[in-house]
Amino acid sequence: MTKELSKPELLDLYRQMVLIRRFEEKSAELYSEGKIGGFLHLYIGEEAIAVGACKALQPGDHLLTAYRDHGWAIARGLEVRRVMAELLGKATGVSGGKGGSMHLASAEHHYWGGHAIVGGHLPLATGVGLAIRYREEPDAVLCVLGEGTTNIGYFHESVNLAAVWKLPVVFLVENNQYGMGTEVGRASAVSAIFQKGCAYDIANRQLNGQDVLEMHEAMGEALDYARQNGPVLLEALTYRYSGHSMGDPERYRTKAEIEEWRTRDPIFQLCDKLIAQDIATQVELDQIHHAVEADLSGIVQFAEESPEPEDAALCEHVFVNPIPHR
């Protein structure tokens, strides 16, 4: 499995996961300092999914996610300092400071958001898939959702329509075990989420979301299948070490449970694998950590020193074709 990727590619996957983790830890600090407002949903523990999946995306492919989106934006190749600037509400942010943590996007990268209404982006992703088929393009759509989203009507409506019209959409469920504070088994009649694909007669599979290499390989297969045939439902098993968002009292789980998942940490797992297979040395991996720290300070500095949006930004972009006030 590791043979497909070159050493530089593998080290880059490692670097991205470390960068996302450190980005998130830094974000938590900035939030505590009051520099980031609103809600902040951290991706710590789930890094392998975004990094592995995005590695399999082609440049023309499309991405839509929910609001736990920093890791996805970074893995998709958005300028990291502009992602941080968005968290700080700055004019240089990827959404000009008007979206915030939950609404990252980049048209250039075909990353159509960053959506904060649970399930709301599933119909949108289905529509992007429709546009691909309409224009007979070779691309696919990756639509990322949490396991809690599979209980919403939108999930049924969107997966059903994508299946009826054979649209090239991969619905990737990040099953981090909890929808906010409610355990999957208390909210979903089916705990093995991938099995919900059977209801729509579409390809479905469960994955180890802690393994970046498995994610990469499976996502490549799923995207190719979707391009040729139609929608796929993937479930990646994972865990978030942090609360749902900042300020989560976490009464719904134990410290022991978190520690147990930490033994399967995606970054440590790749580290162990690279060293065990003589692909990299500990020194090389340490160098990556140092480089990430240096990058991160530049990222934070850029975001902090960036200007606030101008007052005029308040009323910009309500309409593309505004009508003069009469």
Partner 1 sequence: MARITFREAISQALREEMYRDERVFLMGEEIGTWGGTYAVTRGFLDEFGEKRVRDTPIAEGVIAGAAAGAAIAGLRPVAEIMTINFAFLAMDQIVNHAAKLHYMFNGQMRCPLVIRTVGGGGRQLGATHSQTPDVVFAHFPGLKVVAPGTPADAKGLLKTAIRDDDPVFFIEHATLYQARGEVPDDEDFLVPIGVSDVKREGKDVTIVSYSKMLQVALDAAGKLAEEGIDAEVIDLRTLRPLDTRPIIESVRKTNRMVVAEEGWRAYGVGAEIASRVTELAFDYLDAPVRRVAQAEVPLPYNRRLEQMALPQVADIIHAVKDVLYIK
Residues that bind partner 1 (CB under 8 A): 62, 95-99, 103, 105-107, 112-115, 117, 120-132, 134-135, 153-154, 157-158, 160-161, 164-165, 316-321, 323, 325-326
Q: How far is the CB of 128 from partner 1 (least distance, A)?
A: 5
Nearer to partner 1, 113 or 243 (CB): 113
In this structure, the strands spanning 182-183 and 178-179 are antiparallel
**For residues 181 and 309, which CB has a smaller minimum distance to partner 1 in the complex?**
309
> Taking the complex as a whole, how short is the minimal distance between the CB of residue 252 and partner 1, in angstroms?
27
Contacts of 78 (CB under 8 A, 6+ apart): 94, 104, 106, 109, 111
Compute the distance between CA of residue 212 and CA of residue 132 in angstroms, rounded to an integer: 28
How far apart CA 97 and CA 272 sit, in angstroms, is 39
Q: Closer to partner 1 at the Cβ: 44 or 85? A: 85
Q: Least separation, in Å, of the C-beta of 130 and partner 1? A: 5
Provide the minimum distance between the beta carbon of 320 and partner 1 in the complex, in angstroms, as a whole number: 4
Q: Quick one: 117 or 192, whose CB is closer to partner 1?
A: 117
79: closest CA among 105, 113, 44?
A: 105
> What angle separates helix 7-32 from helix 47-56, to the nearest 10 degrees?
130
Long-range pairs, 6-9, Cβ under 8 A, ≥24: 7/279, 7/280, 9/55
Which residue stretches of 76-199 are H helix?
Answer: 80-87, 121-134, 153-164, 184-187
Among residues 3 and 326, whose Cβ is nearest to partner 1? 326
Separation of alpha carbons 23 and 21, rounded Å: 5
Residue with Cβ nearer partner 1 (14 or 67): 67
- To partner 1, the closest distance from the beta carbon of 107 in angstroms equals 4
CB of 109 to partner 1, least distance (A): 10
CA atoms within 13 A on the CB side of 173: 30
CB of 231 to partner 1, least distance (A): 13
CB of 182 to partner 1, least distance (A): 21
- Tell me the closest approach of the beta carbon of residue 93 to partner 1, in angstroms: 8
**Residue with Cβ nearer partner 1 (81 or 121):** 121
In this complex, which beta carbon is closest to partner 1, that of residue 52 or of residue 179?
179
- HSE-CB of 12 using CA atoms within 13 angstroms: 13
The position carrying tokens 């929608």 is 231
Provide CB contacts within 8 A for 42, sequence distance 6+: 24, 27, 28, 68, 70, 240, 242, 245, 246
Q: Which is nearer to partner 1, 59 or 153 (CB)?
A: 153
Tokens of 38: 């609103």
Residue 248 tokens read as 């989560």
- Give the count of beta carbons closer than 10 Å to the beta carbon of residue 293: 13
